[in-house]
Chains A and B, each alone.
Chain A
Amino acid sequence: MDKLRHMGIISSGFLGRRRTDDPRLPPGQYLTEGFPVLSAGPTPRIAKDDWAFTITTEKGDVHRWSWDEFMALPQEDVSTDIHCVTSWSKLGTSWRGVALDTLFKDVDTSFEYTMAHSYGGYTTNVPLADLLNGKAWVAHSFDGKDLEPEHGGPARLLVPHLYFWKSAKWVNGLQMLPQDQPGFWEQNGYNMYGDPWKEQRYW
């Protein structure tokens, strides 16, 4: 229905080649077999020995995991579709990591929003409800291998039901927030929430 409503201008010479009516593909997305890279600056190189992940609450409590502590937590294998705001989607990607449910198990907070922080200074905002109940992970492996630095290794956030810029590369922490605040791309033209099924791409 959406397609008919937004029929647009016909380009009679344009045929298009990749006709995928795959129901797993959100509106305006096309399939890619590759794994394109999107980032705003140089790739930070973080040794696992120097890596840590923290969750910081309104009371100032800091829950901290070193790499070894993080890897000792229950691990989950995740197969999921991912959708980049630049219009590519990749189906059935394989990840391994720790569910945010596991990381939040002992976190006492009444705040409903988070800001994800990364090595290199990147930030992105995600409501807490979008991180819990099996919706999000801190992933350290892709396709059975350590996550490459250019794809966010040693570990990145994985929030596959939102556009992929929300899945912060090189993630190192979550700060609990009382209200939603824009992160890096959200201050630079991109949507606060980023639901691919509603095409929430830009401001």
Chain B
Amino acid sequence: MSNVWRAADVVDTRMETPTARTIRLRIPGLHGHLAGQHVDIRLTAPDGYQAVRSYSIASGGGRGALEPHELPDDELELTVEELADGEVSPYLVRGLQNGDQLEVRGPVGGWFVWRPGDTTPVQLIAGGSGVVPLMSMARAHAAAASTAPFRMLYSVRAPFSRYYTDELATLATDAAPLEVDYIYTRQAPPDSDAKPGRLTAEGLMQRVLPASDSPTFFICGSTPFVEAVSGWLVDAGHDPARVRTERYGGVGGTP
């Protein structure tokens, strides 16, 4: 089924930040998806020109950002970051409207996914819009009321660049608690003592589950971010086999 293009209806949208938009799609024939998977989106211009890009799924376990939060089996949500030099993302963020249709292939992926039956402690590490597939996992974790310890480290440029802020705060008090730490690379919140700055190896180790917990890591962000973070984790004694990575421009990237 993954190779079949299906028509999808845009059910609802919401801007998450000034440059990122959550899009709810209804895809007749879809029967749910795994947390962390991606879909391919195909757009066709009036002259027949087509462009295809991969986008990570943001919904998980039948939960999404938009009202109502409960999703039927044939719906999913994406969050798309607009890239200044992008070809597809500006249209998805600025042009697409409720009731429009586009084509979807997938969901795809069986590696960068979290399954609700897994009780292993999980450390999610997001750089910027890399939070999208990790949010899918956090939602699936909450929806399943999973007892697996979950922690998220989310590196963003500034408070206004955060996705899902209120929902992440809520998930932290849910039946399946999620601990969330933020790193602000350019501008910290006014009420914060933290100085903005890039994540360091030391800062990373202070904010992730220890090697003694044998956590599974899911890291998603830009290539330099993923390279640095995964390298530091391995240097700190985490088993490379438990470090799963995904990058922009890789599977699920958002060019």
Interface residues of A (CB under 8 A from B): 3-4, 6-19, 28, 30, 32, 34, 36-44, 85-88, 120-121, 150, 184-185, 187-189, 199, 201-203
Which B residues between 71 and 113 are near A, CB-CB below 8 angstroms? 87-88, 91, 95-96, 100-103, 105-106, 108-112
| B23-31, B44-52, B58-66, B169-177: which lies at the interface | B44-52
Majority DSSP secondary structure for residues of B touching A: mixed
Is the CB of B249 closer than 8 A to any CB of chain A?
Answer: yes
Is the CB of B247 closer than 8 A to any CB of chain A?
Answer: yes
Which B residues between 1 and 43 are near A, CB-CB below 8 angstroms? 1-3, 5, 7, 40, 42-43
Q: List 16 other contacts, CB 8 Å, given A15-B45, A86-B253.
A: A6-B50, A8-B50, A11-B102, A14-B45, A18-B51, A37-B250, A38-B247, A38-B249, A42-B233, A44-B240, A87-B52, A87-B53, A150-B223, A188-B111, A189-B2, A202-B108
Q: Mark B240-251, 1 if CB is under 8 A from A, else 0.
A: 110111011111
In the A-B complex, the 10 residue pairs with the smallest Cβ-Cβ separation, listed nearest first, are A36-B249, A202-B2, A188-B110, A38-B250, A42-B230, A13-B95, A188-B111, A8-B44, A37-B223, A9-B101
The minimal Cβ–Cβ distance linking A200 to chain B, given in whole angstroms, is 8
The minimal Cβ–Cβ distance linking B54 to chain A, given in whole angstroms, is 5
Q: How many A-B residue pairs have CB under 8 A?
A: 137
The minimal Cβ–Cβ distance linking B239 to chain A, given in whole angstroms, is 10
User: B3's contact among A41, A185, A199, by CB below 8 Å, is which?
Assistant: A199
Whether B52 lies near A28 (C-beta < 8 A) is yes
Whether B46 lies near A10 (C-beta < 8 A) is yes
The minimal Cβ–Cβ distance linking B35 to chain A, given in whole angstroms, is 14
Which B residues between 208 and 246 are near A, CB-CB below 8 angstroms? 223, 227, 230-231, 233-234, 240-241, 243-245
The minimal Cβ–Cβ distance linking B1 to chain A, given in whole angstroms, is 8
What are 9 of the A-B contact pairs (CB < 8 Å)? A11-B91, A14-B43, A16-B43, A36-B248, A42-B231, A86-B249, A86-B250, A88-B255, A203-B2
Majority DSSP secondary structure for residues of A touching B: loop
With the chains together, A36 CA to B255 CA distance in Å?
10
Asked if A10 meets B241 with Cβ closer than 8 Å, knowing A42-B233, A150-B223, the reply is no
With the chains together, A120 CA to B3 CA distance in Å?
29
Whether B44 lies near A9 (C-beta < 8 A) is yes
Residues on A with C-beta less than 8 A from B48 are: 3-4, 7
With the chains together, A36 CA to B253 CA distance in Å?
10
The listed residue with most B CB atoms (<10 A of its CB), out of A9, A150, A188, A203, is: A9
Whether A13 lies near B91 (C-beta < 8 A) is yes
Whether B5 lies near A36 (C-beta < 8 A) is no
With the chains together, A38 CA to B7 CA distance in Å?
28
With the chains together, A13 CA to B231 CA distance in Å?
43
Whether A6 lies near B5 (C-beta < 8 A) is yes
Whether A37 lies near B230 (C-beta < 8 A) is no
Whether B108 lies near A189 (C-beta < 8 A) is yes
With the chains together, A81 CA to B146 CA distance in Å?
46
Residues on B with C-beta less than 8 A from A202 are: 2-3, 105-106, 108
Residues on B with C-beta less than 8 A from A189 are: 2, 108-111
Asked if A38 meets B44 with Cβ closer than 8 Å, knowing A11-B91, A13-B91, A16-B87, the reply is no
Residues on A with C-beta less than 8 A from B44 are: 7-11, 14
> In the complex, what residue of chain B is closest to A12 when comparing beta carbons?
B46
With the chains together, A137 CA to B43 CA distance in Å?
36
Residues on B with C-beta less than 8 A from A34 are: 249
Whether A9 lies near B102 (C-beta < 8 A) is yes
The minimal Cβ–Cβ distance linking A189 to chain B, given in whole angstroms, is 5
Residues on B with C-beta less than 8 A from A87 are: 40, 52-54
